[in-house]
Structure 1
Amino acid sequence: MSDVTYPAELEIAPLTKPVNAAVTVPGSKSITNRALALAALAVNQKPTLRGVLRSEDTEVMIECLRRLGFQVSVDWSKNTVTVTSDSARLIPANAADLFVANSGTTVRFLTAMVSLGEGRYRFDGVPRMRERPLEDLLESLRQLGVNAHSEGGNGCPPVVIETTGWRGSEVTVRGTTSSQYLSGLMMAAAFASRPVTIRVEGGLVSEPYVVMTEQMVDEWVGNMSRPSAGVFQTTPGPHRSVKEYAIEPDASAASYFWAAAAVAGGRVTVTGLNRKSLQGDVRFVDVLAQMGCRIEESDNGITVHGGHLRGVDVDMNDISDTVMTLGAVACFAEGATTIRNVGHIRHKETDRIAALATELRKLGAEVEERDDGLTIVPRALKGCAVDTYNDHRMAMSLALVGLRVPGVVIRNPGCVAKTYPGFWQDLERLRA
């Protein structure tokens, strides 16, 4: 784990002048954990990943891969990881007890991945992970002939996968709770020994993350097609040769610094990201543009210039990891901001709709909470201690309010280690 240490509480000092900064954020968590899973499945290629994010979530994934029998070589001084295996088996270990902490990508990607193997695999995590749903994925694996069940019978971890490999070629998966179920199945299907057709049942949340998975599977394997909407097909065959893979900076992490320009005024450039990014969250800058910011793109990155902010009404289903970032910005806008179609974020590290509403009210905003979103009406803000619910995105988002409002104290600031251990140091660089 990263050697960064954190206080129990952290007060955010307001900025005394508009920002003028260029920021480099660490590698994408979403891409890193997908790349680690793909590198393990393509292990005979001995691929090297560059720009790997070092965080709790990614170190949990790496430790799980080791327990599954993969050799994972890490050089954090260069942010590189190489995955190898001495086994002819797709999953080297035939039994493993895996601790996934509160990493949704780890449990969902690896649950699908180990089902390709032969053996018994058990997944468990922290108390909050034992409340996070997995039943839709377990049901899909059962369709493929896998014995996949929740020990508590509630569809949440601990879960057990007992498998001799996939015995079916057709599977449906529900996509209304998490797109990660589909992404896990897509990556596993790409390495299956038989043709596989995956059909999405009902709606699909966070579709840009599915597009990310599809593009990465194409880069690594090249055997996936989408013959019609909501249908994915793979065929066995020779895979592409991937010796090195570069991971983009994290667009969700970038959202906090773009939002800092909106909140404090001035300009912030996040380097290494552009519109061609695999990550849908780069589109957060479009929401800031609707609110009155000016967006500038160059070969160096994307720059947000702060402006007079106005409230917006926005469907954030596709960029739901930035809901809380927008919630902080909305506190400084003229008029109400309404966020819609994000009911699925109630199943994240915390119930993010309820938590955001509670903490913004503490700070003085007027908030109307709905099943699928909330409306934020700016009011006179006041400093106070805010709770983070052990949710990294709550901590990073609420800190933005403290850039303008004195007395904002973040409780449990160390929860940022889940995806961005160096966040507080990078936020402090905005004062330079």
Structure 2
Amino acid sequence: MNYQLKAPDSAIRTTVKLPASKSISNRALILNALSDSPYDVENLSDCDDTNLMVKALSSNDRDFDVGAAGTTMRFLTAFLSKVAGEWTITGSERMKNRPIKVLVDALNALGARIEYLEREGYPPLRIFGSALRGGEISLPGNVSSQYISALLMIAPLTEQGVALRLEGTVISRPYIHITLRLMERYGASASWTGHTIRVLPGAYQPVRLTVESDWSAASYWYEILALSRTAEIELLGLRENSLQGDAAGARLFARLGVSTAYTSRGVVLRHTGTVCERLVHDFVNEPDLAQTFAVTCALLNIPFRFAGLRSLRIKETDRIEALKRELRKLGYVLTDRDDSILEWNGERGEPEPRPVIATYEDHRMALSFAPAALVRPGGIAIAHPQVVSKSYPRYWEDLKAAGFSIKESALSCSTLNIP
């Protein structure tokens, strides 16, 4: 199934109740479980990753299938290594091709016992949960922050605590900071000095926690505002002093003409009429915003150079290649180099007459390309639109409420090619 989107007939005036932060939700669920909390986490995200985490943590099963939920796979692997018993964990075919060796090696070094059931370095896994001794370990700083967060969250419950040294350039620092700040809220003692994060041994304490709205989800409404100068959009539940690194998107979108006014309810977005001539940014701390900004800049004909994208190669899909392929359908010729830089210098090609954007089982491809309907006379078609359930299940309903026309159409065979 495809969705065919067309722009609203009039200026967009809408208020959006954003989904809760998936990053905070899944960390909070693990910490809540580790603290044996009697309280429920309030305002949890209603997305696939979080729903799978809730299901896993509340079940009596010993075998878990987390589908395409990378966060759930990594956090549960560490969590189960500390819970007495024998467990297996698997996922979708794509998940079975997402590496997990760095995390498994680190956990085994801390005293865990984890085996591969099929291919070395990849799920599915068999985990023999037991007490962990902890100690000193090293990881490359450029691995996924989810590996690091998974290790940090179980660190207080090891016998010795953990000293984690991050070697080289550290990517996605804000996600690690989210983890540490939430751990401290639950009573852990942790410090980050230089390249080493130290977590002392000790029990977590139960706390009441309410999850804030998701700044990653907000970025698609910022994109809509940037592409539609007459719009006014209110986004509920966002906080100026957010735990989330993606809150930096508000400052970056200011360069694309979007102003952010904070209120007691969230934020109000309006267009300033002033945009930059070229956007250069290192997304090492906000990798999940890269797709939003690549599509926005291309559609605004603003050349860009984005660095810090190394982790995009191992997300739900190879997001660098996916962006190049799908923006090429719209006539924008992007280049990449060094596995971490994506550029557009203004080069154009012949666009496809009726492009259908492939989503590659990646929610952020659908979320970031849908606003293209605002600038394309014939609108835009999105293949497999249901992928948005991973992080923003109500996205299409919210677009309809804002005035977008969305109709179902048959799936073209050309959209099934996955890089």
Q: C-alpha root-mean-square deviation of aligned residues, in Å?
A: 2.0
**Range 116-125 or range 298-307, more displaced:** 298-307
Give the whole-Å Cα distance in 2 for the aligned partners of 1:229 and 1:108.
25
What is the CA-CA distance between 1:330 and the residue it aligns to? Answer: 0.8
Aligned amino acid, residue 11 of structure 1: Q
Residue of structure 2 equivalent to 1:104: 70
How much does 1:129 deviate?
Answer: 0.2
Q: Which residue does the alignment assign to 1:275? A: 240
Q: Comparing 189-198 with 208-217, which one deviates more in the overlay?
A: 189-198
Q: Which residue of 2 aligns with 1:339?
A: 306
| Residue 16, structure 1, aligned to residue 48, structure 2 | no
Q: Report how far residue 304 of structure 1 moved.
A: 2.9
Would you say the 8 A contact 1:190–1:217 is kept in 2? Answer: no
Instruction: Indicate how the Cα distance of structure 1 residues 135 and 425 shifts in structure 2: closer, same or farther if over 3 A, else same.
Output: same
Instruction: Find the counterpart in structure 2 of residue 186 from structure 1.
Output: 152
| C-alpha contact (below 8 Å) 1:309/1:334 kept by paired residues | no
Structure 1 contact 102–126 (Cα < 8 Å) conserved:
yes
Find the counterpart in structure 1 of residue 258 from structure 2: 293
Q: Which moved more, 1:196-205 or 1:357-366?
A: 196-205
Rounded to whole Å, the distance in 1 between the matches of 2:309 and 2:32 is 31
- The superposition leaves residues 162-201 of structure 1 with CA deviations (integer Å, 9 ceiling, x where unpaired) of 2432134222233312001110111111233433222223
Match of residue 51 from structure 1: 43
What corresponds to 1:29 in structure 2?
Answer: 22
Task: Give the drift of 1:250.
Answer: 0.9
Which residue matches 1:3? Answer: none
Q: How far off its partner does 1:158 sit?
A: 1.0
Deviations 1:226-281 (A, max 9, x none): 3x123222233454341x21001111111101111001122322222132111111
> For 1:13 and 1:207, how far apart are their aligned partners in 2?
38
TM-score of the pair, normalised by structure 1: 0.87
Relative distance call for 1:18 and 1:376 in structure 2 (3 A) is farther
Kindly tell me: are residues 98 and 116 of structure 1, through their superposed partners in 2, closer, same or farther at Cα, counting changes over 3 Å?
same
Partner deviation per Cα, 1:72-115 (whole Å, 9 max, x = no partner): xxxxxxxxxxxxxxxxxxxxx8xx21111111111111111111
Q: 1:66 pairs with 58, 74, 77, which one?
A: 58
8 Å CA contact retained: 1:209, 1:280:
yes
**Residues 19, 430 of structure 1: 8 Å contact kept:** yes
Q: Specify the code of the residue in structure 2 equivalent to 1:246.
A: T
Deviation at 1:66, TM superposition (A): 2.8
Aligned to 1:257: 221
User: Given the alignment of the two structures, is residue 395 of structure 1 paired with residue 363 of structure 2, yes or no?
Assistant: no
Q: Distance in 1 between matches of 2:129 and 2:258?
A: 52
What is the SS of the residue equivalent to 1:314?
strand
Contact 2:134–2:161 under 8 Å retained in 1: no
Q: 1:340–1:374: 8 Å Cα contact kept in structure 2?
A: yes
Distance 1:255 1:149 in 2: 39
Offset from partner CA, 1:6-27 (integer Å, 9 cap, x none): xx11111123344232222011
Matched with 1:375 is: 343
The total of aligned residue pairs comes to 396
User: Residue type of the partner of 2:19?
Assistant: P
Maintained 8 Å contact 1:190/1:221: no
Q: Which residue of 2 aligns with 1:414?
A: 386
- Any unmatched runs of 5+ in structure 2? 405-419
Match of 1:321? Answer: 288
1:423 to 392, 395, 419: 395
Deviations 1:37-67 (A, max 9, x none): 1111111x31211111112111111222134
Q: Contact 1:108–1:181 at 8 Å: present in 2 too?
A: yes
Uncovered stretches (5+) of structure 1, i.e. residues with no partner = 1-7, 70-92
